Structures are given as structure tokens and as C-alpha cells.
């Protein structure tokens, strides 16, 4: 694979800013907020398999947000397959969320908004797949969005091992061989996606997913209530408090963390929207269930790496921000 970015080649003081710029140049336009440090460690290597682009990325803790304002008709219409080598990457898109780790790979749609974050250093493969090539392999004419694959067994493991082998052997292959292997990888990936994540019986998994969607919808509808409690969420959804915790533990989160994350995401959206420019930061925070300005500011900066005023001003917020990597622009 060819190295296209390595922070170690730059003076320490320039690495943080260079990584933010590189993410938008190599991937898509996004808001990228890495952990700010002088010795920022970032690496991107690349290999092409016909129309598929595979990158091997090392990134320090960071948050990557792709929002509606980043997406244009000129963007490539593609899916991203993420395979963790080390670390964990959490993704939220639409009303779904999952955590990618060494035992579970993820597939998501790059042409819709998403929130991707890594709270520890992450080494991962990211395969960029043109939308029409993957969609054509499904009878419905479209690939599932927000799909988690078990890569410890079955077709998921075969797809993961194939991806890893492609990265390792790419330098020894000519263009025709890489294109053919890329096509074969798509067949395997589509079969793995069709098979689904076989960690638990289908019936139980379906019930859990439906319950989780229902609970998340309830939380979103009541985010503005400062006294929203776990007990009220469980009671109004007809489940026990223990089962509520189990639903979120399965997605590597807690109910409380999810509530605060959604409140912060909603505040960020309101602060960056021109229609709410006349509202004060405190007013927006309180409208989304916060009851302390200092608590809101601290949580906001901890989550997104920016002050609320930075988002309102639009300066650094347009360049940085809310587990790891992609988004890719046309060259």
C-alpha cells in the first residue's frame, strides 16, 4: 500500500492541523476533531482495487461528523466498510448506532450524515465502495445501511480475512488482478451482509432491535425534559429497568450516555442552523434539557472538542469536530 499521509514527517506543532486537513482531502468533507496534542499520530496508506479504494488508517482519539452541509451532488456516492485492526469505532447514522471492533465490522452509507468516533487510538481498514456496485448485488437494488458484521466466524470472517489479504498483497498485484479481486470481494461482502450478524437467534435479535428503536424514539421525543429519568423511560416503554440497561449495553453504551449524546447533538445542530441564530446559547441548551450553562459547556467541549460559541461563530466548527475516520472528496 502507498503511504499518502504520515504525521511523523511533519513538525510536531503542525501535526494536529495537518491531520484535520488530510481527512477532508483523502476522504470526504467532514468536521474532524482529533485529540489535540503536539505529537499527534496519524497515518493513511492506500491501495486501489478497480473502483474500490482501500485505506489503512491509524488515528489518535477523534470525532468525525459528516453533516448535510458537507454533502453535495459532486460527492462520490459510496458505502464504507470499516474493519478494525485495533481499537473501537462507534458510528451513529439515521436512528441506528453500533460499535465496530476487532470482532465486528461495519458498513455504512457515506452519502448520508453520520457521527463516527474513536475514544482510543484506532487502526482500521476502510474500503470505499461505489454505491451502485454494492447495491446491484442485492435483489432489492439497494444495500442495507448501518450493518454490523460478525467477523469472527462464517462469511463475515471470510470477508474480513479477504480484506486484510488485499491490503497485505496489493503491492505484488497488477491493475487487472486488483480489479478482479475487488469485484470478488464485493460478492463476498454482499453475501456476508445478507447473512446478517448471527450472534443471537433471529427472533430474539429482531425483538431487541425493535425495542431499542422504540426506546430511542421515546428518548428523542422527551429530550427537552430536564427530569427525564431511566425509570420513566422503562415504565413508559413497558420494560424493566434491567432490560433497559441490557438494550444499551449491547451497543456498548449506557442509557444516560445516550441521552446526553443526543441532547448535545441536537444542541450542535441548533447552534449551527441559521434559523436559530437569534437564540442565545443558554436558551438553546436549556431548551434541550440542560439546567446549567457550565455543565452544558463542559459536556459540549468534552464531546465535540469545541466550545458552543465556536459552532455559533462557524469558524473552527467548519474545519474541526463531533470513535475514527472517513469521508473522501473527488480528486
Q: Over the stretch 223-251, which tens digit does the pLDDT of each residue have?
A: 888 778 899 898 888 888 888 888 887 67
| DSSP for 168-210, written as a single string | HHGGGS-HHHHHHHHHHHHHHHHHHHHH--TTS-HHHHHHHHH
The confidence band for 306, taking pLDDT boundaries of 50, 70 and 90, is confident
Q: pTM higher than 0.75, yes or no?
A: no
Cell triple for 133: 456496485
pLDDT at residue 205, as a whole number: 61
Q: What is the pLDDT of residue 201?
A: 47
Residue 329: pLDDT above 50?
A: no
Q: How far apart are CA 124 and CA 102, in angstroms?
A: 9
Tell me the pLDDT of the chain averaged across its residues: 82
Q: Are 219 and 262 in contact (CB under 8 A)?
A: yes
Measured distance CA(330)–CA(77) in Å, rounded: 11
Determine how many CB atoms are found less than 10 A away from the CB of residue 287: 15
Tens digit of each residue's pLDDT (9 = 90 or more) over 180-196: 999 999 999 988 888 76
Of 40 and 107, the structure prediction assigns the larger pLDDT to 107
How would residue 160 be classed by pLDDT, with cut points 50, 70 and 90?
A: very high
In whole angstroms, what is the distance from residue 270 CA to residue 137 CA? 39
Tell me the pLDDT band of 325, cut-offs 50, 70 and 90.
Answer: very low
Query: 148 with 122: CB under 8 angstroms?
Result: no
Query: What DSSP string describes 28-92?
Result: -S-EEEEPP-TT--EEEEEEEETTEEEEEEEE-SEEEEE-GGG--TTS--EEEEEEEEES-EEEE
Of the given ranges (123-137, 169-183, 226-240), which has the lowest mean pLDDT? 226-240
- Which of 99-103, 106-110, 126-130, 215-219 is least confident? 215-219
Q: How far apart are CA 187 and CA 160, in angstroms?
A: 13
Please report which confidence band the pLDDT of residue 321 belongs to, taking 50, 70 and 90 as the band edges.
Answer: very low
Per-residue pLDDT at 328 exceeds 70: no
Please list the helix, strand and coil fractions of the chain in percent, rounded to the nearest 5, in that order.
Answer: 45, 20, 30
| Separation of alpha carbons 83 and 163, rounded Å | 8
Percent of the chain with pLDDT over 90: 17
State the distance between the two ends of the chain, measured CA to CA, in whole angstroms: 19
Q: Is the pLDDT of residue 208 over 60?
A: yes
pLDDT at 120: 81
More confident call, 24 vs 56: 56
Query: Which has the higher per-residue pLDDT, 72 or 88?
Result: 88
Q: Among 43-47, 72-76, 301-305, where is mean pLDDT lowest? A: 72-76
Phi, psi dihedrals of residue 110, rounded to the nearest 5°: -75, -15
| Confidence at 23, pLDDT banded by 50, 70, 90 | confident
What gap in Å lies between CA 52 and CA 215, rounded to an integer?
37
Residue 203: predicted pLDDT: 52
Chain centroid to CA 191: how far? 23
pLDDT number for residue 37: 65
Q: Provide the β-strand partners of residue 125.
A: 56, 83
Higher pLDDT residue, 167 or 60? 167
Grid cell 455543565 — which residue? 295
Helix (H, G, I), strand (E, B) or coil at 291: coil
B/e letters for 106-136, b = 16+ CB within 10 Å, e = fewer, are: bbbbbeebbbbbbeebbbbbbbbbbbebbbe
Confidence of residue 316 (pLDDT cuts 50, 70, 90): very low
Q: Is the pLDDT of residue 322 over 60?
A: no
Contact 211, 244 (CB under 8 A): no
Place of cell 478482479: 180
pLDDT for the residue 128:
93
Amino acid at each position: 500500500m502507498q503511504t499518502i499521509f504520515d504525521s511523523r514527517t511533519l513538525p510536531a506543532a503542525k501535526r494536529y492541523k495537518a491531520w484535520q486537513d488530510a481527512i477532508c482531502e483523502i476522504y470526504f468533507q467532514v468536521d474532524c476533531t482529533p485529540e489535540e496534542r503536539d505529537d499527534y499520530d496519524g497515518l493513511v496508506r492506500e491501495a486501489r482495487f478497480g473502483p474500490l479504494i482501500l485505506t489503512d488508517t491509524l488515528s489518535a482519539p477523534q470525532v468525525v461528523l459528516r453533516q448535510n452541509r458537507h454533502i453535495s451532488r459532486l460527492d462520490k456516492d459510496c458505502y464504507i466498510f470499516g474493519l478494525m485492526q485495533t481499537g473501537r469505532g462507534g458510528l451513529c447514522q439515521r436512528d441506528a448506532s453500533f460499535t465496530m471492533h476487532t470482532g465486528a465490522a461495519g458498513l455504512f452509507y457515506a452519502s448520508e450524515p453520520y457521527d463516527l468516533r474513536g475514544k482510543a487510538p484506532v487502526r482500521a481498514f476502510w474500503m470505499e465502495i461505489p454505491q451502485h456496485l454494492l447495491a446491484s448485488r442485492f435483489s432489492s437494488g439497494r444495500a442495507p445501511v448501518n450493518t454490523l458484521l460478525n467477523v469472527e466466524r462464517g462469511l463475515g470472517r471470510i470477508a474480513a480475512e479477504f480484506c486484510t489479504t488485499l491490503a497485505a498483497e496489493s503491492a505484488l498485484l497488477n491493475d487487472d488482478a486488483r480489479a478482479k479481486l475487488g469485484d470478488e470481494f464485493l460478492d463476498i461482502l454482499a453475501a456476508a451482509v445478507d447473512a446478517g450478524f448471527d450472534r443471537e437467534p433471529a427472533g430474539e435479535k429482531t425483538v431487541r432491535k425493535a425495542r431499542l428503536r422504540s426506546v430511542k424514539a421515546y428518548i428523542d421525543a422527551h429530550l427537552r425534559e430536564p427530569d427525564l429519568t431511566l425509570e420513566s423511560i422503562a415504565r413508559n416503554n413497558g420494560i424493566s429497568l434491567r432490560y433497559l440497561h441490557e438494550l444499551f449495553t449491547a451497543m456498548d453504551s449506557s442509557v444516560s450516555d445516550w441521552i446526553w449524546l443526543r441532547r448535545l447533538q441536537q444542541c450542535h445542530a441548533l447552534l449551527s442552523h441559521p434559523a436559530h441564530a437569534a437564540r442565545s446559547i443558554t436558551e438553546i441548551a436549556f431548551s434541550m434539557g440542560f439546567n446549567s450553562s457550565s455543565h452544558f459547556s463542559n459536556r459540549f467541549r468534552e464531546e465535540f472538542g469545541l466550545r458552543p460559541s465556536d459552532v455559533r461563530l462557524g469558524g473552527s466548527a467548519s474545519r474541526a469536530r463531533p470513535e475514527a475516520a472517513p469521508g473522501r472528496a473527488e480528486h
